Chain A
Amino acid sequence: MTQALVQIRGLHFSRGDKKIFDGIDMDITVGRITAVMGPSGTGKTTLLKLIGGQLKPDAGEIRVDGENVHALPRARLYQLRKKMGMLFQSGALLTDLSVFDNIAFPLREHTDLSDSMIRTLVLMKLAAVGLAGAHRLMPSELSGGMARRVALARALALDPMMIMYDEPFTGQDPISLGVLVKLIRDTNATLGLTSILVSHDVAETLSIADDVKIISGGKVIADGSKEDIQRSDSPWVRQFIDGLADGPVPFHYPGEPLERLLLEDAG
């Protein structure tokens, strides 16, 4: 029996009138890389924020490492978050601190390490993402791809038990993409991490993921190991994996049909 680090049961969540999750169950198995895929706007980022306790579900519960995230008192939630790294879609670096200070930040906030220890750790983390030479730069001087790699180094700084990556591959050139893919796989293996990987890059994602979940329209439409998914003949899964515009997964944001909208404008 495999052990679930994250357990999601009956998750419901809405933004205003829009239902984002309509009763989702999901297990993230410990020690594995789980890819969460789905069309843009289905709520993948929202799911990560729910797991991190930044948003509250309307119903259902999320357990991380056995603890019910949304029932924890603040201090315990913060304790738990130290064990969860999160890589934001935008990087979310602190713009008034240099690259070095950004990565040193969680270490300075949460540990009593000496300055020289912190320096060593920070430079090691930066070297792992290939940016040790950039430690003096300010975030405004980084490209989008570099910023995301710095953010990854920062997410790794506290040696978490789990990392959530929100679209780590967007904006990476082929070389750093390869490095990142390898880095995610290696850190997961060597540090004994559990990783949740949100991404649209089907090829890269499938090359490192152990498990795959596909969400669409507020439901989990596919859930299984990578091999299951690749072999699946469900039209939902095939459309997503093969990148087809036509199929059961809607490409268009729900609303009135285009013809009507155009006519409305004219009239």
Chain B
Amino acid sequence: MKPLLNAVERLGRGSIFLAKTLRVLPKLLPRFGLVIHQLHSVGVQTLLIIVVAGLFVGMVLALQLYYTLSTFGAEDTLGMLVDLSLVRELGPVVAALLFAGRAGSALTAEIGLMKATEQLSGLEMMAVDPVERIIAPRFLAGFIAMPLLAAIFSAVGILGGYAVGVDLLRVDAGAFWSQIQAKVDFSEDVLNGVIKSFVFGFVVTWIALFEGHDCIPTSEGVARATTRTVVHSSLAVLALDFVLTAIMYN
């Protein structure tokens, strides 16, 4: 009973925190430089791991699918299948998991340490709202960066699939691309994937910032909050993926 109450209470505090963050977002417009700065640390610094992971996931997909497809003589559909798996599922989900591990944990640790070293209190006493100055720009940056990272993940993954499928396994290059063009629907497949990645970006960034803001201000508290960010946001991504997929493709 107690853990359940605690969970509900945290969810409530998290929602209030989110509401406060969303309310000050309009104030960021005249100071968009703050968001750009955060886009660099949240987005650009996650780029490398996204590109490398996307490449390998694409290559493995091509290997696995080729093996199955060739038993039906359907190798020509390889490109389409790689593309669909990436755009609909793996791109948003794997990119979000990596995003939680790389950017989410860093956000929690940063905010948590700012709290532990009284930087947040210091801002308040300088009449600067920490939510407006520190939290909101990071939130917006995470929300913008995540879909871009997922798109890059998918694009690189398709190139990886192409490299393995066409260059290594000798699938016809024309068929690889024309099947993608013919069978992948923009709104049905691509747009739904983009919606997923927006939702994941929103949730992961929210969890990461809340955990940092809510942590016990000691080194141990920050360490625990960072772990919680990775665990909770990964689980949230997987669970939400199921829900969204069920709604979208029914």
Contacts and interface: CB of A to CB of B under 8 A. Distances in A.
A54 B126 contact: no
Interface-centre pick from A90, A92, A110, A158 (highest chain B CB count, 10 A): A92
Do most interface residues of chain B lie in helix, strand or loop, or is the interface mixed? helix
A192 B221 CA distance: 42
B129 A54 contact: no
Contacts of B119: 92-95
B125 interface: yes
B188 interface: no
B185 interface: no
Contacts of A251: none
B167 interface: no
A113 to B, nearest CB: 16
Contacts of A86: 122, 125
Contact of A95 (B117, B126, B128, B129): B117
A203 B125 CA distance: 29
Contacts of B129: 78
A81 B122 contact: no
B126 A88 contact: no
A250 B128 CA distance: 39
A81 B127 contact: yes
B118 A92 contact: yes
B227 interface: no
Contacts of A94: 119, 122-123
B118 A88 contact: yes
Contacts of A144: none
A60 B164 CA distance: 73
Interface string A100-130: 0000011001100000000000000000000
Interface string A149-187: 000001000100000000000000000000000000000
A56 interface: no
Given A88-B122, A92-B122, A82 B117 contact: no
Nearest to B41: A96
Contact of B126 (A49, A79, A89, A105): A105
Interface string B122-155: 1111111100010000000000000000000000
Nearest to B126: A106
Contacts of B113: 95
Interface-centre pick from B121, B126, B133 (highest chain A CB count, 10 A): B126
Given A54-B121, A82-B127, 15 more contacts: A52-B124, A54-B125, A78-B127, A78-B129, A90-B117, A92-B119, A92-B122, A93-B119, A94-B122, A95-B114, A95-B119, A105-B128, A106-B126, A106-B127, A109-B127
14 contacts: A54-B124, A78-B129, A79-B127, A81-B126, A82-B126, A82-B127, A84-B125, A88-B122, A92-B117, A92-B119, A92-B122, A95-B117, A95-B119, A109-B127
